[in-house]
């Protein structure tokens, strides 16, 4: 399951630089997460770095993009295979 940034986002910009997959970007009003790039930091860290650092705790799991740990690991492997 990828993560999502909710409307409680205060645009503090601490989440974007800690994302190892560059899945976080500035949307029209708040930061957003590209679900095709988000692995919840699987393969990089034990915990999602954006959610760990968020001062307002507005980065929950996205119920519209459910993925298993195995699926997240496969996505991580696809994203990093050419690095």
Torsion region of 13: left, alpha or beta (phi above 0 gives left; psi -120 to 50 gives alpha): left
Is residue 1 very low, low, confident or very high in pLDDT (cuts 50, 70, 90)?
A: confident
Q: What is the pLDDT of residues 16-64, one digit of tens each?
A: 999 999 999 999 999 999 999 999 999 999 999 999 999 999 999 999 9
Look up residue 24 and give its DSSP letter.
E
Contacts with 21 (C-beta within 8 Å, 6 or more apart), sequence order: 37, 38, 39, 44, 76, 79
Q: What is the pLDDT of residue 40?
A: 97
pTM given for the model: 0.92
Distance CA 65, CA 31 (A): 17
Torsion region of 35: left, alpha or beta (phi above 0 gives left; psi -120 to 50 gives alpha): alpha
**Residue-range domain boundaries for the chain:** 16-80
Q: What is the pLDDT of residue 48?
A: 97
Is residue 83 very low, low, confident or very high in pLDDT (cuts 50, 70, 90)?
A: low
Angle at 83 between CA 51 and CA 49, to 5 degrees: 10
Instruction: Report the CATH fold assignment for 16-80.
Output: Alpha-Beta Plaits (3.30.70)
């Amino acid at each position: 399951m990828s993560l999502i940034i909710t409307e409680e986002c205060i645009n503090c910009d601490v989440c974007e630089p800690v994302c190892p997959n560059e899945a976080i970007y500035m949307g029209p009003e708040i930061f957003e997460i590209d679900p095709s790039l988000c692995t919840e930091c699987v393969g990089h860290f034990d915990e999602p770095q954006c959610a760990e650092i968020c001062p307002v705790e507005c980065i929950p799991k996205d119920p519209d993009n459910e993925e298993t740990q195995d699926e997240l690991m496969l996505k991580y492997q696809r994203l990093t295979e050419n690095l």
